[in-house]
Chains A and B, each alone.
Chain A
Amino acid sequence: MFVYIARRIVYVIPIVVSVALVCFLLVHITPGDPLVAILPADASQELAAQLRIAYGFDRPLPVQFGLWLWRALHGDLGNSIATGRPVLAEVLRAVGNTVTLAIAAASIGFTLGLFFGLIAGYFRDTWVDKVATSIAIAGVSVPHYWLGMVLVIIFSVQLNWLPAVGAGPGGSGSWGWDWEHIKYLVLPAITTSVIPMGIITRTVRALTGDILSQDFVEALRAKGLRETKVFRHVIKNAAPTALAVMGLQLGYMLGGSILIETVFSWPGSGLLLNSAIFQRDLPLLQGTILVLALFFVFLNLLVDIAQAAIDPRIKRS
């Protein structure tokens, strides 16, 4: 087990470096001089040359990457061009709100997904299965930003029950788990939960079906085990894979929140990314993507280790 974890961690290192490289190169595939975003419109040639040297843009690319990586390792992702504040601080503040949203969405999506998946797999080919699979396929096919709009139309515009945008009183920095704040979370969380709900339903349904058709279930029933007990075995066998899928989905919610945060003006990392793109704030863009991708890699690592911990078959390999 220890060897497995160690190997898994070592395996992550080249991935992390590659992710950093991709983030670094993103700025360099940007059309035009990266300086353009930094320079004032009326900058002189001398100022441009000075800044070029100051930012190290005159050095060869690998050297630039090395320096950038070195600074990034020390928590220095540069300063935002728009606000002048350190990128890392901006990103971490926004990520906190995204995590809030993702956790709320996960608790809705995972619960529903597990429930629908288990009953659909257990009552395969009955009307229960048909309803659950229809909900699931709608969940994975719906453009979630549109669903967000529709929910706003129904619950904010028509019924006026819930607020349409924002994160509640006090703005982005003062989240609290009270109704004054939570009512702002409801619609974005429901919207975010739809895709993971659909994917988990489909995964768990397939898993349950497979497990139920295996010989050991036959044997359990043959020895007179009650169905509820049989069901416990099914859940135990489905758990490792279901867990892996849920971990991955949590990562997607953290990293893929930009559309939903834009619809609801939710002050998370997605909205930050959106403003970084449209203000051509390249250090902020680079930093946000790097942090989100590293979050995702780290989460995948945790999932692998957790999976190994509960699935005896993985430890051996």
Chain B
Amino acid sequence: MTAMTDTALQAAPAHAARGYWATVGRRIVRDKVSMACALILLLILLGALFAPWIGLADPYQGSMIRRLRHIGTPNYPLGTDELGRDMLARLIYGGRLSLLIGILPVILAFVIGTSLGLVAGYVGGKINTGIMRTVDIFYAFPSVLLAIAISGALGAGIVNSIVSLTIVFVPQITRVAESVTTGVRNADFVEAARASGADAFTIMRVHMLGNVLGTIFVYATGLISVSMILAAGLSFLGLGTKPPEPEWGLMLNTLRTAIYVNPWVAALPGAMIFAVSICFNLLSDGMRSAMDIRN
């Protein structure tokens, strides 16, 4: 075997070996857009979490005499709403419910949809047909219509809004998970693992999850953007949160009557939804290209 140990054969890449996820992480940290988005989201999230302790006004305390102040009013940097409540406090507090009802459905759908998709993709056959044909039914509805139909039938409320959005996203994530899983399942390295005698569970854990979860995760991150818009939209219609809770969609709804008096204050809650939504979209794009390591 001496002929084999020639230098050409031993030629290996110059840089030190690094794990796949470490490389992806390094690439995403170097991406300015993704980092800026992550920072904005982090600030909004921290603001929402620590809202009671950062010296904000009471978001529920209104006053008839100081309704609809303009942006830049002393003590009310972002003005006041139609009941005289401080907009800055309500926008920051609003992150609590808005992020919850926007993100939780995607997390739930990620767990359910990934499980269904993995099973459908790995087991195949009749189980696959059963799961995927059921998913097809939900694809026969535009997602906005489905969310509103379920919400409308269940009635207004935070839980119902989360349930209906979860139902909307499960089929979408299931489809992605199923197609990625099927692709990986037929890869030769999974065949090789089966040939080595490993059981389905071990193959799933060692060889499949690492290759499918990333793609599904990136897809789900992009869905958060849609989910934020839809969740706030349900509240905007009166199907989600109820007054007097600060929540961006609901705030947008109650401030609609004020657009002739104080239009720019009325538009603020929507700007928050927009900011969160675009940041999740850009972050999802950034992760996708960071994970595409062969380019």
Contact surface of A with B, Cβ cutoff 8 Å? 14-15, 18-19, 22-23, 26-27, 29-31, 137-138, 140-147, 149-150, 152-153, 157-158, 251-252, 254-256, 258-259, 262-263, 273-274, 276-278, 285, 289, 292-293, 296-297, 300
Contact = CB atoms under 8 A, between A and B. Distances in A.
B142 A146 contact: no
Contact of B148 (A14, A31, A277): A277
Contacts of B140: 15, 18-19, 293, 296-297, 300
Contact of A278 (B150, B233, B238): B238
A137 B282 contact: yes
6 contacts: A146-B252, A153-B263, A255-B141, A256-B144, A259-B144, A300-B140
A30 B225 contact: no
B137 to A, nearest CB: 4
A293 B141 contact: yes
B27 interface: no
B180 interface: no
B252 to A, nearest CB: 6
Interface residues of B, number: 43
A274 B237 contact: yes
B152 A277 contact: yes
Given A146-B252, A289-B149, A293-B140, A30 B238 contact: no
Contacts, number: 132
Contacts of A293: 140-142, 145
Contacts of B228: 143
A250 to B, nearest CB: 10
A146 B266 CA distance: 10
Chain B binding surface SS class: helix
User: Helix, strand, loop or mixed for chain A's interface?
Assistant: helix
Given A18-B137, A142-B277, A26 B142 contact: no
Given A22-B137, A31-B155, A276-B152, 15 more contacts: A26-B153, A29-B153, A29-B154, A137-B282, A138-B278, A140-B281, A143-B233, A146-B267, A252-B144, A258-B144, A258-B148, A262-B236, A274-B237, A278-B238, A293-B142
A26 B281 CA distance: 32
In order of increasing CB-CB distance, the 9 nearest A-B pairs are: A146-B270, A256-B144, A255-B142, A141-B278, A277-B152, A153-B263, A18-B137, A255-B145, A141-B277
Contacts of A23: 149
A256 B281 contact: no
Contacts of A18: 136-137, 140
B184 to A, nearest CB: 22
Contact of A143 (B232, B237, B263): B232
Contacts of B142: 251-252, 254-256, 292-293, 296
